[in-house]
Amino acid sequence: MIYIFYILIILVITYIMVKHTKINMRNLKNNKNKKYIKKTKKFLEKFNIYNNNLNLDDTQIKECNKILVDNENDCNCFIDNNKEFTEDNIKKCILNKNTKKCIKYNKCKKQFTNLLTGAEPKYNPDEWASPIIEGSHNCYAYFLNDKIPQVKNKCRKLCLEKNNCKEKIKECRGLKPQPGNYAFNIGRAPEIKREYSCPKIIDKVLLDNIDYTTGKNVIHKTNFETKCPPNHYKGAVVVHPDKTYHFYRQDSNGRFSHKQGTLRVENKDASSKPIYAPHLSDRNYNKDNKIDGINYTDFCTYFCIPKNGFLDTNAV
């Protein structure tokens, strides 16, 4: 009988100890959660991640551009192989990648993405990768986000005769849209001259993209730190003086992408770094100083461009 009594006492003591341990563990866990929440809240408040301040000066833009470019691989939260970034996963970046350098990265990311309107196209090189489109569309068409039906049809006719459109053909290269072509073709420009300077290229882009029923431009010049109107996204143009031009397009991930001639769409600069601000990116594709090399030394301007379906843009 006495043994049963001792066994009961042991069981009661064991139960009390287990109960007490569970309570302590629960309290410890709750305290840790409270500390984590408090720490996260202080982090967000300290660095003002969710501010709406668009008043960035040149120095801030340069500093943020360097932080974003240098820390892209370590601090970004990518959602696919194209290294897309969206507002949906910014909290994940903030909470999971909060090292000192990533704190600055996330702050700059938020400041730059505050300049987006929501009308920006998604970065998707595969959409432009068919031999017909890639082989006949250039940076100007990509800047406008236009896959031009008459250009596609002409290229298709040419490549069907040659290789059944399985590969790009050189005959389609001459179909690439050029700034000023549309204005000339509808009789709004007296002649087409291949003049490569910022004022000339800007004039041609604007002349191509006038709503001639109202006389108003559908594309407008802007600057990096200014947010475009609703239903517009940002683009940019640069030139290699007296030689050629090049256009960039801002995407929904906040970075800029581009299409060099009839090559594949890409989102890296001449140093294979991400492009957050084309006017600060490496545009020298002539590191070997070749006679026929390209170096887009002159940054011309940023533009606000209407998204597809809002206002029509023109290139041919």
Give this prediction's pTM.
0.80
Residues 241, 101 within the same domain: no
What pLDDT is stored for residue 41 in this prediction?
Answer: 43
- Coil, strand or helix at 38: helix
Q: Would 33 be classed as within a structural domain?
A: no
Average pLDDT for 243-265: 96
DSSP string across 243-299: TEEEEEEE-TTS-EEEE-TTS-EE-B-TTS-B-S-GGGS--B--TT--TT--B--EE
Residues 109, 148 within the same domain: no
Q: Which of 196, 285, 276, 178 is nearest to 238 (CA)?
A: 196
Biggest CA–CA distance in the chain, Å, is 116
What pLDDT is stored for residue 3 in this prediction?
Answer: 54
Q: State how far the Cα of 232 lies from the Cα of 118, in Å rounded to an integer.
A: 8
Average pLDDT for 143-169: 96
Count CA within 13 A, CB hemisphere, residue 285: 13
What pLDDT is stored for residue 168 in this prediction?
Answer: 97
Q: Which of 141, 135, 137, 221 is nearest to 179 (CA)?
A: 141
Domains in the chain, number: 2
pLDDT band at 99 (very low <50, low <70, confident <90, very high): confident
Q: State how far the Cα of 130 lies from the Cα of 115, in Å rounded to an integer.
A: 32
Instruction: Tell me which residue range forms the domain holding 105.
Output: 58-114
Token pair of 64 as six digits? 């943020």
Residues 131, 90 within the same domain: no
Residues 200, 240 within the same domain: yes
DSSP string across 51-89: -------HHHHHHHHHHHHHHHHHH---SSTT----GGG
**Cβ atoms within 10 Å of 185's Cβ, excluding its own:** 13
Q: State how far the Cα of 56 lies from the Cα of 112, in Å rounded to an integer.
A: 9
Radius of gyration, CA atoms only, the chain: 28
Residues 109, 222 within the same domain: no
Token pair of 146 as six digits? 């236009």
Specify the range with the lowest mean pLDDT, choosing from 139-143, 188-192, 207-211, 305-309.
188-192
User: Average per-residue pLDDT in the chain?
Assistant: 85
CA distance to 12, 25, 42, 111, 290, per residue, from 45 (Å) = 49, 30, 5, 15, 52
pLDDT digits (tens, 9 = 90+) for 295-313: 999 999 999 999 999 999 9
Residues 158, 297 within the same domain: yes
**Cβ atoms within 10 Å of 55's Cβ, excluding its own:** 7
Residues 103, 135 within the same domain: no
pLDDT band at 59 (very low <50, low <70, confident <90, very high): very high
Residues 100, 249 within the same domain: no
pLDDT digits (tens, 9 = 90+) for 264-282: 999 999 999 999 999 999 9
What pLDDT is stored for residue 97 in this prediction?
Answer: 67
Residues 100, 179 within the same domain: no
Residues 62, 152 within the same domain: no
195-216 core/surface letters (b: 16 or more CB in 10 A; e: else): eeebebbbbbbbbbbbeeeeee
Residues 134, 259 within the same domain: yes
Q: Which of 68, 70, 144 is nearest to 112 (CA)?
A: 68
Residues 288, 183 within the same domain: yes
Token pair of 303 as six digits? 């533009």
pLDDT digits (tens, 9 = 90+) for 70-93: 998 888 776 665 555 555 555 666
Token pair of 96 as six digits? 């999971």
